Amino acid sequence: MRLSIACPATLRSDANNLAMVLGYGPADAETYVALNWQDAGGNLYAVASLPVSDTFTTDAQVALQRPAWDTDNIISMAAANRAQAALVFSLEPVLALPDKLTACAGDDALATLAAMGLTQVEVDI
Amino acid sequence: MTTLSLRMSLASNLRNSVSFSPASLFAGGEQGVWYDPSDLSTVFQDAAGTTPVTASGQPVGLMLDKSKGLARGPELVPDDLTTTFSSSSHIISSPTALTASSAQAEQINSGALVESGKAYRVSFTLSSYTSTGGGGVNVRVGSASSNDFAVNANGTYERTVVADGGSLVFRPNGAEVQSWVITNISVRELRGNHATQTTASKRPTYTEGGGLSWLAFDGADDAMQTAAIDFTVTDKMSVFTGVRKLSDTQINVLYELSASAAINGGSFWALPSYTGATPNTNAVWHILTRGTAFKNATTPTTFPAPHTAVQTHLSDISGDRTTLRINGVQEVQNTGDLGSGSFGNYPLFIGARNNTSLFFEGNLYGMIVVGKTTTAPETASAEAYMAGKTGLTL
């Protein structure tokens, strides 16, 4: 299953902490960076899209544990928990919201993001 | 040309395309990259290289560059281990072995041995291993524990690892590890300009189908990049890619030398779509070469997505040539002034601008970048090779 995730600007830091908890290392703090997408109201989002295991959505909603690699306490577990509280999972595309971390299933990332009401911000080459 | 000579020419071309290896383009020591996703020995799921890609659908965090023949550098571990490795009291170093004899969570550290960002082939033998659990001995090439890989049975191990720090560390993973001996340690650089993606969600997906193999980029956040490649000795460049674009409604980047070829001298890009040129549609292939001045080249023909192509990008700064070939045919050449200077010492970005925007949606079947002007036969052979990887017949 592929998940495409829309992260509003205000949740980026929290969501990157959650990404480190659910991911593999400190580099996952770079999951949500550029605000390349926007909704109909002009709210900006960073997006991620990745194949996940069938248990990912369940794993992401249980009590979070600091990963074994984080011996230096890089992760703010408080921030990760805030991001988890803002998570919305859906097997069908739903509109991204500016106060939610919205994750929708769909094989085609761009089609899923479009169905979430998002369009790419024009970037000058 | 007589019928006989034509037949001989065709036969010669066929022999050349069959026997051609991209390695020959680098025989003179030219700088560059050669990526071949169909070679599973060169793709790994994580950026550190600890988990090989074994099946379609897995992410790719490391793609090794074959342009240097995956040649190994000199041995970095000295004959006498005691001159390099240090540890606390429960691990004993001898000239030939590192021995831990009690359940102590102590590590042995090589000190400065490797360079962050470079790939290494690491091998060693684990013996006399005893444990009351399954923790194993963690091996780290660098500084972050997320880079560790664990071994928990006697044997000889060999891994490709990209260092994220300067040292080689052996560390028991938990107090249940009772004893272990490490011998035959070898660390040698795996030379090349390897492409990585350290952020898990941004890794393209290794995919197989129809006898072909490719990296699938999702158009949302997938990308890879190299460390800086020093192209400053040349003002000539030849790039060959086997590619299928799945979207061209938005401008996106197939590859780009430097964080932005729009501003950095000695750089280049290729875009699977472009606006602002004739024809006024995104459904074109587009390239740019920049010396101290820049010129671009856009196909006069439209190639709407989905479109599969062998795309060839030839650049000569002092010769003022920016040439774009699609499927073995020269589509456009711009002979405008490219200024002066050489190409730069920049990272190569694949599938996005600077790993952060203009994400490419499509498949990459292979890529060759070589810091020279390829001859006409070399160009034809490289295109034929890439066509084979891409499932095209030129």
Q: How many CB pairs under 8 A join A and B?
A: 85
Q: Between β-strands B119-131 and B155-162, what pairing exists: parallel, antiparallel or unpaired?
A: antiparallel
**Stretch B92-107: mean pLDDT:** 76
β-partners of residue B315 are: B237, B322
What does the pLDDT read at residue B102?
Answer: 67
Instruction: Give the pair of three-digit tokens for residue B313.
Output: 């990008």
B56 touches chain A (CB under 8 A): no
Q: Across all residues in chain B, what is the average pLDDT?
A: 90
Instruction: Name residue, tokens 């952060």.
Output: B356
Q: How far apart are CA B224 and CA B364, in angstroms?
A: 12
Q: How far apart are CA B100 and CA B240, in angstroms?
A: 51
B155 touches chain A (CB under 8 A): no
Q: Do B220 and A34 touch (CB under 8 A)?
A: no
Closest CA–CA distance from residue B274 to any residue of chain A (Å): 9
**Is it the case that residue B48 has pLDDT exceeding 90?**
no
A31 touches chain B (CB under 8 A): yes
| 3-state SS track over B131-177 | ECCCCCEEEEECCCHHHCEEECCCEEEEEEEECCCCCEEEEECCCCE
Q: Between β-strands B137-141 and B212-218, what pairing exists: parallel, antiparallel or unpaired?
A: unpaired
Q: Do A109 and B205 touch (CB under 8 A)?
A: no
Out of A57-66, B168-177, B374-383, give the one with best mean pLDDT: B374-383
Scanning B236-295 for CB atoms below 8 A from A yields 247, 250-251, 262, 271, 274
Cα B8 → chain centroid:
37
What does pTM read for this prediction?
0.90
Instruction: Name residue, tokens 């908890």.
Output: A21
Residue B59 with chain A: CB contacts under 8 Å: 50-51
Instruction: Give the pair of three-digit tokens for residue B325.
Output: 């070939």
The band of B4, judged by pLDDT with boundaries at 50, 70 and 90, is: very low
What does the pLDDT read at residue B6?
Answer: 41
The band of B105, judged by pLDDT with boundaries at 50, 70 and 90, is: low
B354 touches chain A (CB under 8 A): no
The band of B9, judged by pLDDT with boundaries at 50, 70 and 90, is: very low
The band of A123, judged by pLDDT with boundaries at 50, 70 and 90, is: confident
What does the pLDDT read at residue B277?
Answer: 62
Contact partners, residue B154, CB within 8 Å, separation at least 6: B126, B127, B128, B129
> Between these two residues, B204 and B96, which has the higher pLDDT value?
B204
The band of B1, judged by pLDDT with boundaries at 50, 70 and 90, is: very low
What does the pLDDT read at residue B90?
Answer: 65
Residue B57 with chain A: CB contacts under 8 Å: 51
Using the Cα atoms of residue B45, residue B50, residue B53 and residue B58 in order, give the sign of their dihedral. Answer: negative
What does the pLDDT read at residue B113?
Answer: 93
Scanning B2-41 for CB atoms below 8 A from A yields none
A48 touches chain B (CB under 8 A): yes
The band of B324, judged by pLDDT with boundaries at 50, 70 and 90, is: very high
The band of B14, judged by pLDDT with boundaries at 50, 70 and 90, is: very low
Instruction: Give the pair of three-digit tokens for residue B38.
Output: 């169909």
**Stretch B123-150: mean pLDDT:** 85
Q: Across all residues in chain A, what is the average pLDDT?
A: 95
ipTM, two decimals: 0.96
Q: Name the E strands within B191-306.
A: 195-196, 205-209, 212-218, 224-225, 229-230, 236-245, 255-257, 267-271, 286-290, 294-298
Q: Which of B116, B147, B196, B221 to mutate to test the interface with A (most CBs of A within 10 A)?
A: B221
List the single residue in B198, B218, B271 with the smallest CB-CB distance to A49.
B218
Burial B186-213 (b: 16+ CB within 10 A, else e): ebbbbbbbbbbbbbbbbbbbbbeeeebb
Q: Do B59 and A50 touch (CB under 8 A)?
A: yes
**Stretch B270-289: mean pLDDT:** 84
What does the pLDDT read at residue B178?
Answer: 80
- Three-point CA angle A8, A10, A16, nearest 5°: 80
**Stretch B240-244: mean pLDDT:** 98
Give the alpha-carbon dihedral of B257, B260, B262, B267, to 10 degrees: -20
What does the pLDDT read at residue A92?
Answer: 94
Furthest-apart CA atoms within chain A: distance in Å: 43
Q: Do B144 and A28 touch (CB under 8 A)?
A: no
Q: Do A71 and B145 touch (CB under 8 A)?
A: yes
What does the pLDDT read at residue B156?
Answer: 95
Nearest of B208, B202, B242, B193 to residue B223 by alpha carbon: B202
Backbone region of residue B276 per phi and psi (left: phi > 0; alpha: psi in -120 to 50; beta: other values)? left
